[in-house]
Structure 1
């Protein structure tokens, strides 16, 4: 364990309020008693009021007035914070500037050795940021604020392939980040139903004087799952679908907007889904055929045989083609 991780562990032990001997700390951290005293000196130099009392009732403790400010993080926790910021930035998270500022405050409280170690640990990971319109960030902020204030908003929304945007009023219930895109899940006054709106297609947004009540315990993620459920053919018996393939091919298969909701288990070479039989029979054979020999159906035999029949029918069709 690194020096600063050991010091952090010792600090947490002492924060319990109990007096501990140097031998007890050394045994717990699997270090020497001499190292314990070096750590005590280092903590003291950092402003932590560590008290070492000798005698029968003596021991090492921290003054009750000590407050955990600034926060103390282990090296792995610091690494996680920095790399989480990279992912948030790559996703277009609307508060990356504030997150970066908070991270800078944490890093400013580190010792030089900690900063150097953090740089070494986080220098190997980068997140490639996709190109997004600059307007997405303020839109995300406005949508989130409208949801918080329960304020109906008016938007100019341009659907895919539409020549111009049309106006509608919506009650924003939440935001979701899905397949590298931001979506607003909202009640649409025009359609009188909950709909999803891709944020990058919102050309204008303005608040209205109207307010709304958000459904209790509404979840944007649950709404996406429910939408996928509605695409099911029927609520027939469920069956396990087991598919083998190369990792990249399985990645594409599992990323399917509908099928991914039924993924139950995934390894590098196999994916398992749980889906009702009617939906499987109607949608999966043709979709899975698009992967050609890149995948192999292991279960159920019914699906495997159906794909074999379809492949034979296609081969027979072109075999009889006179051109």
Structure 2
């Protein structure tokens, strides 16, 4: 919508300063000609927007001009409400500030939109952790978050899974990620990922962290997740699975079932599913009971059969 694009153009200039028509076109995903027309429309509406020519030129707003929050659209106000994570703010020590920001946002909205947002807040609740995930204490989260905000180097005592388990590390914090109720620190050198709840001691130094100019936290996290899943599933199993068993598959196995599944006359489905390891596959498929039959590899089939024979003798 043109009206929404005009607001976006204003906010870009307000938050980033002077921008060229080409840069604005790239940010808004429109043509440069469209940017010219939008600028003319804003100027005609009385917005103090002007352009400077030359190498350092670009469009800018008159100093002191601010776009009013009252001009937010309903969908934008909804997005601001639903994007807020009060639990995360509390864990980072920002709970009171988050509440103040919500109050200020609410006060700035026109009455009809304020009532709409209040109804929305009453009907949506975000509970990020999974059902079976135990809550993890991260006693040094505040210190780590402060180092991320101020760009200071951390000296930590960290507990890892392999020997020696407790190690000392000098970390340059690049960013924090909240994943399924657990905080992760992405830090150099590397960068590598560290569980914040596994930090045993921390010192925030006065040394300034050197973060690469081209580092993108979101892009890095997505790439690391893709790499993790690629390394996680190293094998495959050919199975037959019942309709009831199929409903109990999740994640990569459910996606593989949908992609490779072939219906059979008895209502079951034959499919090739990814597996992490022989032991994990054994435990997973055994947990599905009689709702699945492993056809290959033969070693996995034999290990499950051996366990079933042991169980049959035990419960005879």
TM-score (norm 2): 0.54
Give how far 1:178 is off.
Answer: 2.1
Give how far 1:152 is off.
Answer: 3.4
Equivalent of 2:149, from 133, 145, 159? Answer: 145
Q: Which runs of 5+ in 2 are unaligned?
A: 8-43, 49-64, 130-134, 262-270
Instruction: Determine the C-alpha separation between the residues in 1 that align with 2:313 and 2:230.
Output: 41
The count of aligned residue pairs is 244
Instruction: Determine the C-alpha separation between the residues in 1 that align with 2:288 and 2:230.
Output: 27
Q: 1:136 to 1:100 in 2, by over 3 A?
A: farther
Instruction: Determine the C-alpha separation between the residues in 1 that align with 2:46 and 2:162.
Output: 67
Instruction: Kindly indicate whether residue 305 of structure 2 is the aligned counterpart of residue 312 of structure 1.
Output: yes
Give how far 1:271 is off.
Answer: 5.8
Matching residue of 2:157:
156
Give how far 1:273 is off.
Answer: 8.4
Equivalent of 2:197, from 197, 200, 204? Answer: 200
Q: How does 1:157-306 map to 2 (within 5 A)?
A: 157-159=158-160, 166-187=167-188, 195-202=192-199, 203-207=201-205, 209=207, 211-212=209-210, 214=212, 216-217=214-215, 219-233=220-234, 245=244, 249-250=248-249, 253-254=250-251, 260=252, 264=255, 282=278, 285-293=281-289, 296=292, 302=296
Instruction: Determine the C-alpha separation between the residues in 1 that align with 2:283 and 2:258.
Output: 15
Q: Which runs of 5+ in 1 are unaligned?
A: 1-8, 16-60, 255-259
Instruction: Determine the C-alpha separation between the residues in 2 that align with 1:221 and 1:14.
Output: 31
TM-score (norm 1): 0.53
Matching residue of 1:126:
125
Matching residue of 1:109:
108
SS at match of 2:306: helix
- Does the CA-based 8 Å contact 1:144-1:175 persist in structure 2? yes
SS at match of 2:72: coil
- Tell me which structure has the larger Cα radius of gyration: 1
- Deviation readout 1:262-299 (Å, 9 max, x if unpaired): 8757xxxx7658999895674663142243249657xx
Give how far 1:81 is off.
Answer: 1.6
Instruction: Determine the C-alpha separation between the residues in 2 that align with 1:214 and 1:225.
Output: 22
Instruction: Determine the C-alpha separation between the residues in 2 that align with 1:284 and 1:134.
Output: 29
SS at match of 1:126: coil
Matching residue of 2:12:
none
Matching residue of 1:28:
none
Compute the RMSD of aligned alpha carbons.
Answer: 5.1
Q: 1:311 to 1:166 in 2, by over 3 A?
A: closer
- Does the CA-based 8 Å contact 2:154-2:202 persist in structure 1? no
- Does the CA-based 8 Å contact 2:245-2:288 persist in structure 1? no
Give how far 1:78 is off.
Answer: 2.0
Q: 1:281 to 1:139 in 2, by over 3 A?
A: closer
Give how far 1:90 is off.
Answer: 7.3
Instruction: Determine the C-alpha separation between the residues in 2 that align with 1:242 and 1:272.
Output: 14
